[in-house]
Amino acid sequence: MERILCLLHTQSDGTLSQLALETLTVSSTTAAQLPDAVLLVGILGTATQQAATQIGSCGANQFFIAEDPALEKGSYHNDTNAAEAIAKAAQATIIFAPADSRFNRMISGMAIRLNGRADTHAVAVAADNGTLTISRWYYRQRIIAQQTRQQRPWVISIESDTAAPWKGDSKTVDATTVSFAVDANTKVIGTIAPENTVQTIKPDSPLLFVAGAGWCKKQSDGQTHLLEAESLILDFVNRSGASLGSSKSLVDQNSEGEAVLGCLTHMNQVGQTGSTPRHPKGLATCCHGEEPHTVGWRFITQRRAINTDANCGWARGKTDVLYVADAFKVMKILNDLLK
Amino acid sequence: MPTFQIIVCAGIVPEPLQTLEPVENAGKYALKNEAMLPMIIDPWGMHALYEAAHLSKTYPGSKIYLVVAAPKGKLQQVMMTIAQKVPFELIAIDTPAGGFTEAYEVAKALEQAIKSIPALDMSQTLLFGGWESASRCSGATMQMLGEMLGITEQFQGVDTLTVKEDGSFEIMERVEGGLHQKSTFDKLPAVLGWATGDLPEPPNNPQIGMMNMRGIMPSIMKAKKEDLPNEGIELKSCEVPKALRETKIVDNMTEEMIANEIFTWIKKD
Ligand SMILES: Cc1cc2nc3c(=O)[nH]c(=O)nc-3n(C[C@H](O)[C@H](O)[C@H](O)COP(=O)(O)OP(=O)(O)OC[C@H]3O[C@@H](n4cnc5c(N)ncnc54)[C@H](O)[C@@H]3O)c2cc1C
């Protein structure tokens, strides 16, 4: 009999994130599909009772909460202590947790404390014929595998969009409070926006706009046009509400001391050694569309690109539409339309 | 001035322009022609190494150990490209490469290797690695290794480490929405899984290369073999999904027409 623990943390306002609710759907669906499985919920953070009430009607047999001001923001030491205490109190054999930065920091370490194993970044979970199987990507979104595991506890982190967010009535529940040791070595000061990037990275935007190194290259007049490039990019991002991504070549110029666009940092980089954002649409400009870049587009559904080169990487099946054109000219007109 | 013992753990991965295809052999997966693929040090592990080099330069007397679990033959090739960049002592473990190895087993092998470092002072130890490999992409190994070594200060997606005047440390970790989480801590040891950081690639220095090579070859020769059996885990399928789209190449529209078409596309739900 599997004891399935859905391990969550509260956000600073005491609510549960969308990804937390998606993880709850995965957990309750799995509990319903596996014979004799029991659903348990564990919540760490602050205002955990409020969060438990938010999902009180999810059908869990038991709720566990670990609460302390030290858990308001995530740190490895305290999160791991709290999560370990919850998992042990719940005697969990399978633990689902959201793959957000807070839990990505600690769930594999927690698995070691539980003498278990961890598989991270699951994008699908199935429980056919009594066997739990997960799907996850290898080699930066190039190879996908379906896998299962014998060891227990088995800790699995869930990526966003794996399931619909759980919906249901709130209900007061009688949660079991779990105690854990609080440590003061690490102090979390808070979150900080790297200079200039605060408004440019928007995970919830329907559109990703990628700027490539072509924006800083010499154009047909033999000159670079950095100021114009930067203003076209920022105008577009501001007017369209798009999230700003970049190729590696463009952001690398920053650390190598070349002429650069100040609005971009490594945080904007998409691809092999950058991010793999999720947006319904993506528009690439002045970017060649090489494989190490486009692996970061795995979860961009509709894709368009503007490049002066009809033979660039995008032309080889990486985008739905490739406009062979000068992005400087197209973006200027597009920005006027968006005014 | 403090001194540090910086242990950098980094695997090796195929050079990213290579085409990758999984092949099955007796229920286990590997990459087709894996032995022939050109390899590089895992990129985020490489950043960790650059950060270690920077720190040890700033705090003279510090020492860098580079711990690599990889097939012996490949390791020699990869070392050629990094040996000239950063001074380090290599500790090699002869293991299969690849994403389909199990993070727990790799962490165990690394743990044994690190425990064999003579006179390791944990109160001076920084355990560095990439926050995720480019092969398994799990972000699990460093955390597991940290736990196995009893290290409970851990940070992932690190872009900046600052040693403060009072000897404490300040860390910037990547979190959602393009933000950094800033934390401080007082005491080592600590695990840092590095993201890109801020440092450029160090230039080649033949003198460093010569110094490193003296230790690298003996270390590779005596690398302990670990099989990494992937116990308890079964891959039921493993494939390269069909990624190719039918690209429409538009080369006969004016900039106005293109801008209008993109405008309509953006606005459409
Ligand atoms: C280990 C490793 C990891 C890597 N990781 C990443 C990664 O995470 N992300 C990433 O992006 N790359 C990554 N790369 C690099 C990748 O291989 C490419 O070098 C990089 O993506 C190229 O960036 P780019 O397309 O912006 O630049 P370029 O290749 O220089 O292309 C510029 C493009 O701009 C076009 N252009 C110029 N002017 C105009 C104009 N006026 N209008 C329209 N088009 C114009 C040109 O035709 C050209 O196609 C990695 C490489 C390695 C080795």
The mean pLDDT of B25-36, rounded to a whole number, is: 90
Q: Which residue of A has its CA nearest to B185?
A: A186
Decide: A155 and A118 in contact? Cβ < 8 Å. yes
**pLDDT computed for residue B224 by the predictor:** 96
pLDDT in tens, B56-78: 999 999 999 999 999 999 999 99
The mean pLDDT of B236-265, rounded to a whole number, is: 94
Q: Crossing angle for the helix pair A327-338 and B255-267, nearest 10 degrees?
A: 50
Q: Domain coordinates of chain A in residue numbers?
A: 3-177, 196-338
Residue in B98, B77, B110, B83 with CA at minimum distance from that of residue B238: B98
For residues A277-286, one letter each, b for 16 or more C-beta atoms within 10 angstroms of the residue's C-beta and e for the rest, the string is: bebebbbbbb
pLDDT in tens, B112-157: 999 999 999 999 999 999 999 999 999 999 999 999 999 999 999 9
CB contact under 8 A, B182 and A189: yes
Q: Which residue of B has its CA nearest to A308?
A: B251
How confident is the prediction along chain A (339 residues), in pLDDT tens digits per residue?
Answer: 999 999 999 998 889 999 999 999 999 999 999 999 999 999 999 999 999 999 999 999 999 999 999 999 999 999 999 999 999 999 999 999 999 999 999 999 999 999 999 999 999 999 988 999 999 999 999 999 999 999 999 999 999 999 999 999 999 999 999 999 999 999 999 999 866 555 789 999 999 999 999 999 999 999 999 999 999 999 999 999 999 999 999 988 866 666 578 888 889 999 999 999 999 999 999 999 999 999 999 999 999 999 999 999 999 999 999 999 999 999 999 999 999
Residue B262 forms part of a structural domain: no
CB contact under 8 A, B245 and A113: no
Residue in A197, A189, A184 with CA at minimum distance from that of residue B173: A189
Q: Please name the residue whose Cα sits nearest to atom 31 of ligand 1.
A: A288
Locate A260 and state its tokens: 């650069």
| Residue B136 neighbours by CB distance under 10 Å | 26
HSE of A75, CA atoms in CB hemisphere, 13 A: 26
Locate A209 and state its tokens: 């706009």
Decide: A302 and B227 in contact? Cβ < 8 Å. no
pLDDT in tens, A101-143: 999 999 999 999 999 999 999 999 999 889 999 999 999 999 9
SS3 per-residue string spanning A80-114: HHHHHHHHHHHCCCEEEEECCHHHHCCHHHHHHHC
A131, containing H or E segment? strand A131-138
- Give the best residue of A75, A132, A138 to mutate against chain B (max B CB count within 10 A): A138
**pLDDT computed for residue B269 by the predictor:** 84
Ligand 1 centroid to Cα of residue A114, in Å, is 44
Cα diameter, chain A: 72
Q: Which residues on B lie below 8 Å from A317 (Cβ)?
A: 243-247
- Give the best residue of B46, B152, B187 to mutate against chain A (max A CB count within 10 A): B152
The mean pLDDT of B234-242, rounded to a whole number, is: 91
- The distance from CA B68 to its chain's CA centroid, rounded to whole angstroms, is 10
- Alpha-carbon distance of A190 to A33, in angstroms, equals 40
Sign for the CA dihedral angle at A190, A193, A199, A202 comes to: negative
Query: Which of A142, A246, A248 to mutate for ligand 1's pocket (most ligand atoms within 8 Å of CB)?
Result: A248
Decide: A261 and A229 in contact? Cβ < 8 Å. yes
Residue B248 forms part of a structural domain: no
Decide: B6 and B64 in contact? Cβ < 8 Å. yes
Of B104, B155, B187, the CB nearest to A76: B155
Q: Which atom of ligand 1 is nearest to the CA of A328?
A: 41
Ligand 1 centroid to Cα of residue A230, in Å, is 17
**pLDDT computed for residue A246 by the predictor:** 96
Q: Which residue of B has its CA nearest to A202?
A: B177
> pTM of whole model > 0.90?
yes
- Alpha-carbon distance of A42 to A85, in angstroms, equals 10
Locate A295 and state its tokens: 């692996």
Is the CB of A290 inside a 6 Å radius of any atom of ligand 1? yes
- Alpha-carbon distance of A14 to A44, in angstroms, equals 10
* Beta-bridge partner residues of B9: B67, B129
What CATH superfamily classification does A196-338 receive?
TPP-binding domain (3.40.50.1220)
pLDDT in tens, A73-93: 999 999 999 999 999 999 999
- Alpha-carbon distance of A209 to A284, in angstroms, equals 6
CA angle (B19, B24, B29) in 5-degree steps: 75
**pLDDT computed for residue A334 by the predictor:** 98
CATH 3.40.50.620 is held by the domain A3-177: yes
Outline where DSSP puts E strands in chain B.
5-9, 12-14, 22-25, 28-31, 39-41, 63-70, 89-94, 125-130, 154-163, 169-175, 179-185, 190-194, 224-225, 233-239, 248-250
Q: Write the CA distances from A126 to A37, A130, B134, B172, B195, integer angstroms.
A: 14, 10, 26, 37, 32
The mean pLDDT of B23-42, rounded to a whole number, is: 92
Residue B77 one-letter amino acid: Q
**pLDDT computed for residue B178 by the predictor:** 86
The structural domain count of chain B equals: 1
CA angle (A194, A198, A204) in 5-degree steps: 130
- On whether any CB of chain B is under 8 Å from the CB of A326, the answer is yes
Q: To the nearest whole number, what is the mean pLDDT of chain B?
A: 95
Q: Please name the residue whose Cα sits nearest to atom 52 of ligand 1.
A: B16
* Beta-bridge partner residues of A177: A65
Q: Please name the residue whose Cα sits nearest to atom 48 of ligand 1.
A: A288
Phi, psi torsion values for A254, nearest 5 degrees: -55, -55
- Alpha-carbon distance of B66 to B87, in angstroms, equals 10
Range(s) of the domain holding residue B147: 5-225
Reported as a pLDDT band with limits 50, 70 and 90, residue B27 is confident
Of A139, A149, A189, the CB nearest to B233: A149
Reported as a pLDDT band with limits 50, 70 and 90, residue B229 is very high
In angstroms, the separation between the Cα of residue B218 and the nearest Cα of chain A is 31
Q: Please name the residue whose Cα sits nearest to atom 22 of ligand 1.
A: A249
Residue in A170, A60, A310 with CA at minimum distance from that of residue B247: A310
CB contact under 8 A, A324 and B249: yes
- On whether any CB of chain B is under 8 Å from the CB of A202, the answer is yes
Give the domain CATH number at B86.
3.40.50.620
Return residues 128-157 of A near B (CB < 8 Å).
133, 136-140, 142-151
Q: Which residue of B has its CA nearest to A290?
A: B17
